[in-house]
Structure 1
Amino acid sequence: MEVLVLLCYHYNAVRHAQGIHNVEGEKNPNAYLSPELFDAHLTPLGWDQVDNLRRHVIACGLAKKIDLVITSPLLRTMQTAVGVFGGEAFVDGVKGKPLMVENAGNSGRRAISSLDGLPFVAVEACREHLGVHPCDRRRTIKEYQTLFPAVDFSLIESNEDTLWEPNVREPNEEVAIRGMKFINWLLTRRETEIAVITHSGFLFHTLNKFGKDFHPLIKDEICKHFGNCELRSMVIVDKSLLSFGTDRTNFPGRIPRGLDLPSDIAHDKHPNAISDQ
């Protein structure tokens, strides 16, 4: 008697918490062109959002189920990743490297422990919409390794950011293609309960590739933009995104509520204003 076994991957997608670029971009979309927002870090409100999501994933039991954390290699995503899924405060003299050193990226936070042994892996493929906006440009990997010692950067080939271009914005379709390749890569992993901390534009364009045959209400739910620090749990079966997770693990984000205009929405709403700069 043949038994059909479907391997399910639980994909817990998280948009980073509020960054300084979200605040400035909400006030003026042209702020996304500012070099001062290079590799934007979290705001104090963003860290409050991280704390609230951390409490949620612990309370609903998701924190104990996660066996891999994938993060985009930008400051705001790595801060969110280690803040939500990392250990408690790091204590000097304890064996092992911290996930994040004290005050990394002007966080004002204590160092975060990696004692729980959960792997954190930085992956270029889930970065935000590439090009033009300095907030989406990364630092060197060597710099990040000093700030996030226990994060695994071995899958990133170049120390320098060779993907971001100052005058060329990655087309939406290319973001979606990159996202689909990333999803296919996730399916090669042995882990089946994965948290991915990434960006609004990346999630929006990637998830819009799914759900063409779904009921409009389901498709709308899948494809709408994420709020800051929002978590959506999904299930991937046989390379198809079939359903959302339960309300028990989903988290609405924006707690506390703050300005969170994504750079890709600002670009779409004000293309002329931004391109004229």
Structure 2
Amino acid sequence: MNSPPFLRFTTVTGYFHQDDPATDPDSFDYVKSNFGLIEKQYDEHLGVEQIDSQWRRFDAHIKRLNASDTKKLKVLFLGRHGEGIHNVAERKYGTKKWDDYWSLQDGDEDGIWVDARLTDQGRCQARVAHAAWEQQIEAGIPSPESYYVSPLNRCLETAQITFQGLGIPGADPFRPTIKELLRETMGQHTCDRRSTASEIAEEYPEYRFEAEFPEEDKLWDPEVRESNEHRNDRLRALLNDIFAHDESTYISLTAHSGAITSTLEVLGHRRFPLVTGAVIPVLVSVEKGAPSQPESQSS
């Protein structure tokens, strides 16, 4: 198989509140803010200002730019999974004891967190995301044309609850593509060791695996924890693969805190931590080019 061409991708700022340094991640509510879309008019002569929906104006603006520019703009909807059993355990023991001992165990008397599953609260957070998407669909948000999901169970279930039954293209039935590289920081922590492909397929029969997805988890190492730099390289490779093979403008990725942190970093987006279940959209410019450090650009 030929390697995909190197692509340069950078965040385009000025469209979402989350890329504004004045927006506080700790208090920002994606549900109450239309996913963060900034209300604005666009300087163009296509009657965009006559469109009654801010999301439809945004979509018309993006289509105009994509029709006339060598760069292609894409919108990533990055969703973090709902609360998992491992999240509860870390709060219970504290981060230091969790990192030093408990994260290396399979579980405790309260549950097993190998390939951690959602808690009831985590499922509730996914239902909140589902309702938020319903609201935004009514407001004219462009539906994702492609859906990608981490192979870890907490993401598989979060994505299903979030998108199944929305009645939009690609989500009825919901058949996302499982991407091996879209995982949490890998190694040591048992919550980040995935199930076999057969077990995943049995529980989520309508989900699709990317090509050459291995039966066994070959990436998780019980002795070595992945560094932030290596995680960044992994997510950069994932984005390069998606952008090289997927022509979609609107793309959904359901992933993890660490994976989303690295995605934002390699895109040149400001750091914006997400609580469990939250969503952040990012406008990205994609073009062929030589490797370079990420940099954001303003609208």
Equivalent of residue 179 in structure 2, options 123, 132, 136: 123
Provide TM-score, normalisation by structure 2: 0.65
In structure 1, runs of 5+ residues without a counterpart are 89-113, 212-218, 246-277
Q: 1:87 is matched with which residue?
A: 165
1:40 equivalenced with 2:92 (yes/no): no
Paired letter, 1:23: V
Structure 1 residue aligned with 2:263: 206
The alpha-carbon deviation at position 241 of structure 1 amounts to: 7.4
The answer for the alignment partner of 2:202 in structure 1 is 146
Q: How many Å separate the matches in 2 of 1:196 and 1:210?
A: 14
Listed one character per residue, the Cα deviations across residues 228-254 of structure 1 (whole Å, up to 9, x for unaligned) are 011000111125775799xxxxxxxxx
The structure that has the greater radius of gyration is 2
What is the aligned-residue identity percentage?
Answer: 27
Contact 1:139 1:160 (C-alpha < 8 Å) held by counterparts: yes
Which residue identity lines up with residue 194 of structure 1 in the other structure? I
- Cα 1:203–1:243 change in 2 (3 A) is farther
- Find out whether 1:8 has 2:73 as its counterpart: yes
User: Structure 1 residues 9, 45: closer, same or farther in 2, change over 3 A?
Assistant: same
State the Cα deviation string for residues 97-147 of structure 1 (Å, max 9, x = none).
Answer: xxxxxxxxxxxxxxxxx8724540000111110100000000100001010
Number of aligned positions between the proteins: 210
Q: Of 284, 291, 294, which aligns to 1:236?
A: 284
Q: In the alignment, which residue of structure 2 is the partner of 1:23?
A: 88
The amino acid across from 1:190 in the alignment is: E
Note the 1:97-246 alignment, pairs <5 A.
Answer: 116-188=172-244, 189-211=246-268, 222-239=270-287, 242=296
> Any idea what SS the aligned residue of 1:60 has?
helix
Residues 127 and 199 in structure 1, CA contact (< 8 A), matched pair in contact too? yes
Residues 3, 209 of structure 1: CA spacing in aligned structure 2 closer, same or farther, 3 A cutoff? closer
8 A Cα contact 1:235 1:243, kept in partner: no
* 8 Å CA contact 1:236, 1:242 repeated in 2: no
2:134 maps to which residue?
58
Amino acid at match of 1:32: S
Match for 2:129: what amino acid? L
Name the CA distance, whole Å, in 2 between partners of 1:244 and 1:133: 38
CA–CA distance in 2 between the matches of 1:17 and 1:115?
19
- Give the number of the structure with larger relative contact order, counting CA–CA contacts within 8 Å between residues 6 or more apart: 2
Does the CA contact (< 8 Å) of 2:77 and 2:279 recur in 1? Answer: yes
Classify 1:32/1:68 alpha carbon distance in 2 versus 1 (closer, same or farther; 3 Å): same
Contact in 1 for aligned 2:182/2:255 (Cα 8 Å): yes
Deviating 4+ runs (over 2 angstroms): 2-6, 154-157, 208-211, 238-245
Unpaired runs of 5+ residues, structure 2, are: 1-66, 108-112, 288-293
Q: Which amino acid aligns with 2:87?
A: N
